[in-house]
Structure 1
Amino acid sequence: MSSVGTEGFGAENHRQGSQGRQSRETSKATSVLHPKDVLCCHTTYKQLRNYKMTVNVLDSLVSVCSFAPFCRIMALDMPSAVQNLKEPDPELQVLGAAYIQHECYSDNDAKNEVRRLKGISELVKLFNSENQEVQRFATGATRNIIYENMENKVALIEEGGIPQLVEALKEPDDELRKNITGILWNLSSKDNLKQKLARETLPDLTDKILIPLSGSSGETNEVQQTPSEAEIFYNTTGCLRNLSSVNEKTRQHMRETDGLVNSLVHYVKASLEDNKAEDKGVENAMCVLRNLSYQLYGEIPPSALMRLEGPTRDQASGKGEAIGCFTPQSRKAKNSKNRDLSTFTEVARVPKGMEWLWHPEIVKMYNNVLHQCEINSTTREAAAGALQNITAGDRRWASVLSRVALEQERMLPVLLDHLRTNNDLELRSLTGLLRNLSRHCTNKNDMATKVVNLLVTKLPANGREKEPSSDAVINICGILNNLVTSSSVAARDIAFFDGLQKLVAIKTEHDNSPGRAKAAKAAATVLSNMFQYKKLHSSYKQVRRL
């Protein structure tokens, strides 16, 4: 069975509690006060605050409109609100945008009406208004208009909304930037919009948001963010998380964007030092790094790959020489080790940009995430998935990093500890990583004694059980097979811990779904390779009688 890599999920809207491969949207802009809720012009500021509005929204309405004009919002309907957007008076523009923002908070009919009235194009014109309150309300209204409304997302893009949003990022205003990054995150939830977004937003998002808020531009390792800046950073990394999941071209673009990978790595490392591994910003950053590591060795520049593969590699063979496949006395093993040391020395300088993705130092960071992150399983899954990606395949560097993980970082205990998870997504990444490590490890007997018992307990009793998933079962069988082919200890322990019964049942008792059929084939491969150990034939016969 070949080693495998994985691509992560897009950002999820945890407010809705749904999961899956599809990218999700961020939350909407805060709803402003409904006109019917303003009973008279004598309403006090304290009374206004009892409504579910942010202080900034209140301050904006009170300071810009004053109470008398503010009461005029009572008379608005959607056509008049859109008309207000066209007026030259900033007060009227604010009132119109505020009305639209509130009405579109949870009413899809209102969102569609704004589009029919050509209100989206009018809002776009206000994104770079000279009046900052107009900017805030125009972007706040837009954020609500496009939320879970694909037609309005398309209309926003067709009206030139993305360049105008990017231009507005130059304003150092937190409320405005929260709206802009929230809009971009929502737009990035749709696959057919991601490439365009990446082309038009990556440099500015990186330069104006990611680098300064990650702390990577400063002299210290600290990340110092206000609550508003933390939200802006979360929105931005949520957008990047979605963009990184779409295709090779966009992944390449992101890897090559100056400062992007550096900032993510710096932010995660600084957060770990500050014991903030559970933060949502860390989750997003880790998911981006995991996605950018997907199919890494097939997508990095040829010059970088050539340096990692070493100068004496036999390019024609098409296969990498796994580290430790030969005895210490073997001349071939010594030559391989010397090449590894030479290459390791070359890449062990301070990495820059995308070099972080395959640098040995990144293995240490992922290991620290696995050790520190006890609550957020998505972050742990991303760390395991990133490690799975950079240890996948036949490339020699995948084998080198596997050895770093096992021998230098001594990662096996923490992986086995997390293997007890009931989260199938996390289990898939963990078992995928262990599958790669078991393939490249130098001492398969030692690894077998540590992992076989726990792996057998994770196997289902037969092929009909729904948990764990077929992907996880295939990975577990892959690990066992990698060990069995070189270790009689692995075969012995599988039999001792009642793994034979499970493997036979997975092979013979299953439905006709493609996943279960592949799992049955994987189990059959393990059983076939176990048969080479004649001392275990009596155990095989006993299982057949059951």
Structure 2
Amino acid sequence: RPHLVDVPNGSDPTKTNNYLKVSRTGMRQTQSMTVVTDGPTKTTTSEATIAKVNMKEAVEFLSSKDENYQLFGASCIQQNTFNNDRSKEEVLKLKGIPALLALLPSSNSMVKHVVSATLRNLSFKSSPNKEEIFHCGGITMITEQLKQSGSVDLDKQLTGLLWNLSSEDDLKSVLLRESLSTLMERVIVPNTKTPDITSSANRDPHVFTNATACLRNLSSG
């Protein structure tokens, strides 16, 4: 079936809002790599430090009341699941997906962003993880966060996540029911209107590409 092709947005890392972000895109689904920085010191979490933490510990960090541990745990999972199917399976077995979804409404914008990016990686080409996100009420939660979001960076992760989920045939009816109107109101309509002060915050080419790719998947088959 035909699917909209995402145009790569480049591979050069850019430092924004206290994190170093490297995005990579694919044709039907997308992943994201985010290297978290350590608050105001802007010291990046090194790969060597992350390598010392096993997946079980990373998932356990998600349940900490300390946002620094939550952020570190999510970052470890995100980096370890980038193009690593075995790590994705391990997170699923360790019940990491419901723990991540529980952090999605966090008041900490960085936690929210990294959790979204991590779920995006976990859902990339993994039907079991997509199903788990759905069974944990994730589609409703993701859609609600997109509805409330005031951040373009967060919008990129959330719409990329919805794009991944939309490639799963069994989830299309749920996405049509729960996410379609939000995608239209928050992304599609603002990007197709003449730019003005009220709509400019919702206009971004990558967010628009993710959203239209999601709609293309939902309209096929």
Q: TM-score range by the shorter chain?
A: 0.7 to 0.9
Which structure is higher in RCO with an 8 Å CA cutoff and minimum separation 6?
2
- Residue in 2 that maps onto 1:366: none
Superposition deviation, residue 14 in structure 1: 7.4
What is the alpha-carbon distance in structure 2 between the residues aligned to residue 197 and residue 64 of structure 1?
Answer: 38
What is the alpha-carbon distance in structure 1 between the residues aligned to residue 44 and residue 81 of structure 2?
Answer: 24
Identity of matched residues, % = 31
1:188-337 matches, within 5 Å, as 188-215=166-193, 218=196, 229-246=204-221
Superposition deviation, residue 111 in structure 1: 0.2
Superposition deviation, residue 12 in structure 1: 4.3
- Return the letter of the residue paired with 1:241: R
Query: Contact 1:215 / 1:224 at 8 angstroms: preserved in 2?
Result: no
- Residue in 2 that maps onto 1:9: 2
What is the alpha-carbon distance in structure 2 between the residues aligned to residue 68 and residue 142 of structure 1?
Answer: 21
- Residue in 1 that maps onto 2:158: 180
Instruction: Give the match's secondary structure for 1:207.
Output: helix
> What are the Cα deviations for residues 188-225 of structure 1, in whole angstroms up to 9, with x where unaligned?
11222111111000111111111222225859xxx979
- The answer for unaligned runs of 5 or more in structure 1 is 1-7, 16-23, 33-56, 247-546
- Residue in 2 that maps onto 1:26: 29
What is the alpha-carbon distance in structure 2 between the residues aligned to residue 140 and residue 26 of structure 1?
Answer: 13
In structure 2, do the counterparts of structure 1 residues 69 and 112 end up closer, same or farther at CA, with 3 Å as the change threshold? closer
1:382-397 matches, within 5 Å, as none
In structure 2, do the counterparts of structure 1 residues 165 and 78 end up closer, same or farther at CA, with 3 Å as the change threshold? same
Higher-Rg member (1/2): 1
What is the alpha-carbon distance in structure 2 between the residues aligned to residue 14 and residue 218 of structure 1?
Answer: 26
Q: How many residues align?
A: 200
- Residue in 1 that maps onto 2:81: 104
Report the structure, 1 or 2, having the larger strand content: 2
In structure 2, do the counterparts of structure 1 residues 205 and 225 end up closer, same or farther at CA, with 3 Å as the change threshold? same
Report the structure, 1 or 2, having the larger helix content: 1
What is the alpha-carbon distance in structure 2 between the residues aligned to residue 241 and residue 165 of structure 1?
Answer: 19
Query: Contact 1:25 / 1:147 at 8 angstroms: preserved in 2?
Result: no
Query: Contact 2:176 / 2:218 at 8 angstroms: preserved in 1?
Result: yes
- Is 1:135 the counterpart of 2:112 in the alignment? yes
- Residue in 2 that maps onto 1:158: 135
- Is 1:124 the counterpart of 2:112 in the alignment? no
Superposition deviation, residue 64 in structure 1: 6.2
Superposition deviation, residue 145 in structure 1: 0.6
Q: CA RMSD in A?
A: 2.8
- Residue in 1 that maps onto 2:22: none
What is the alpha-carbon distance in structure 2 between the residues aligned to residue 100 and residue 124 of structure 1?
Answer: 13
Query: Contact 2:30 / 2:161 at 8 angstroms: preserved in 1?
Result: no
Superposition deviation, residue 69 in structure 1: 8.1
